[in-house]
Chains A and B, each alone.
Chain A
Amino acid sequence: MNLAIVLVIAAVFALATILSVAVTRSLQTSKQSACLTGTIRPIDVEAFRNLIDPDEDEYLRRRLPAAQFRTVRRERLRAMAAYVHVAAGNAAVLVRVGDAAVANGDVQVAEAAHQLVNDALLLRRNCILALGRIYLALAWPNSGFAAARVFERYERVSGAAMLLGRLQNPRAAVRLSAL
């Protein structure tokens, strides 16, 4: 009987998951444009680059006592995790932006959108792996860590988003050169 109860609870969870995804999807479909506006969060690329720089870690390791280094390293890892979370969130938004633009009649826009979707998906995948490594490194702060792939992918996604933005909204291209 216990097994039956466990399986029924599992079935209820499964149904709840499926129905919640279905409801979320229908809400996203009906309010697509409104939801996306303002959901991309900016990332301080310079600070992110500093956090993942192995030379910085090596410098701190040489300068600080071991216990203090571990504390500082953990703080840096937590900050890194926060950045990776934001990058993953931005990637998710850009997947949807790209998906919506893929159906565009303009071939150039459709290709740019396709590229954006691919890059954003790879960024999101790399973010999962990077977060796993960061949480492992939190347990062993002395271990080496590289989030460079997330950073590189973020740069590519940024470029792809910019290209799509330019194609969809030529005024944005003017803005880029004016900055």
Chain B
Amino acid sequence: MLQPHSVLWHYLWVAPNVLLVVLAFMMWKRRLHREFPAFFCYAIFEAAGGSAIYAIDVSPSVSGPTYWWSYFLFLVVEAFVKFVVIGEVFTHLLRRYQPLGKLAKVLVSGVGVILVFTATIIAAYANPTAFWLISATRILGRSVSVVQCGLIVFLFVFAAHFRLSWGRVVFGITLGFGIVAGVYLAYWALMAEWFLGQRTYLLDFMNMATYHVCVLIWFYYLLLPQESVTTSVVSLPEHDLAIWNRELERLLHQ
């Protein structure tokens, strides 16, 4: 079951791509693609790119180096698209909270610089392999994961600290990206060090299964209707308001 090219392996590779096509179609139908264009592009790119890489992998006529070149290019474009999606999520989250805009930009820039610096240092400590392209792919994957995971964790911590309210869709996209980024970081860290030797396919299963779950998370948050409880108005507690009023009254009389 947990072998390369087993039924489960094929399913875990193909199913998320098919689901992403459906997700992109549903987004387009509900006009969500206008609100989240970067994520819409990401879904299409992942579906198309993932399917292409799968076809290259299973095709007997394609050589090993061709596969790795294709995968490497896919990772480069994927990294770029993911950064754009993270930027889109930031914009949506902070759109309602203009007073925090400047602080958020400064902090994101600072955190970004630190993460890129960290990723560069980590890349310098890579283990070379016989074929340089495999090493390059793993170093790229690991470095990009460090930056993306760090940015998403920062986003969650920032929003939690200021008690910012996420929109349902924004939260769903970020949650899926966060889980994928965290698992990818562990995956690429172990892959780059040849942790499991010839059994690295076990990590592939973990990676693909996580991605499948995240695609289902995106389905849940993007396509299921919002619960009505989130829109209910919360009144200020009368008792506490009285205390606040008393304090204000005291200020006014000074």
CB-CB contacts below 8 Å: B112-154 with A = 122, 125, 142, 146, 149-150, 152-153
The 6 tightest CB contacts between A and B, nearest first, are: A7-B189, A100-B234, A11-B186, A15-B182, A4-B193, A18-B178
Which chain A residues lie closer than 8 Å to B231 at the CB level? Answer: 103
Mask of A1-16 contacts with B, CB within 8 angstroms, 1/0 = 1011001101110110
Contact B182 A14 (CB under 8 A): yes
Known: A30-B229, A121-B100. A171 touches B240 (CB 8 A): no
Enumerate chain B interface residues (CB-CB to A < 8 A). 96-100, 103, 122, 125, 142, 146, 149-150, 152-153, 156-157, 159-166, 171, 175, 178-179, 181-183, 185-186, 189-190, 192-193, 195, 227, 229-251
In the complex, which of the residues A33, A95, A102, A169 contacts B163, with contact meaning CB atoms closer than 8 Å?
Answer: A95
Is A29 positioned at the interface, with any CB of B under 8 Å from its CB? yes
Name the prevailing secondary structure of the B interface residues. helix
Is A125 positioned at the interface, with any CB of B under 8 Å from its CB? yes
Number of interface residues of A (CB under 8 A): 62
Known: A11-B189, A95-B162. A121 touches B99 (CB 8 A): yes
* Complex CA distance for A21 and B175, rounded to whole angstroms: 9
Known: A12-B186, A40-B240. A121 touches B235 (CB 8 A): no
Known: A95-B163, A97-B236, A124-B162. A10 touches B250 (CB 8 A): no
Separation in Å of the B252 CB from the closest CB of chain A? Answer: 10
Separation in Å of the A88 CB from the closest CB of chain B? Answer: 9
Contact B190 A8 (CB under 8 A): yes
Contact B146 A3 (CB under 8 A): no
Is A25 positioned at the interface, with any CB of B under 8 Å from its CB? yes
Known: A1-B193, A3-B193, A172-B245. A38 touches B236 (CB 8 A): no
Contact B229 A29 (CB under 8 A): yes
* Complex CA distance for A21 and B122, rounded to whole angstroms: 28
In the complex, which of the residues A43, A168, A172 contacts B233, with contact meaning CB atoms closer than 8 Å?
Answer: A168
Contact A169 B241 (CB under 8 A): yes
Contact A38 B247 (CB under 8 A): no
Which chain A residues lie closer than 8 Å to B163 at the CB level? Answer: 92-93, 95-96, 99
Which chain B residues lie closer than 8 Å to A171 at the CB level? Answer: 238
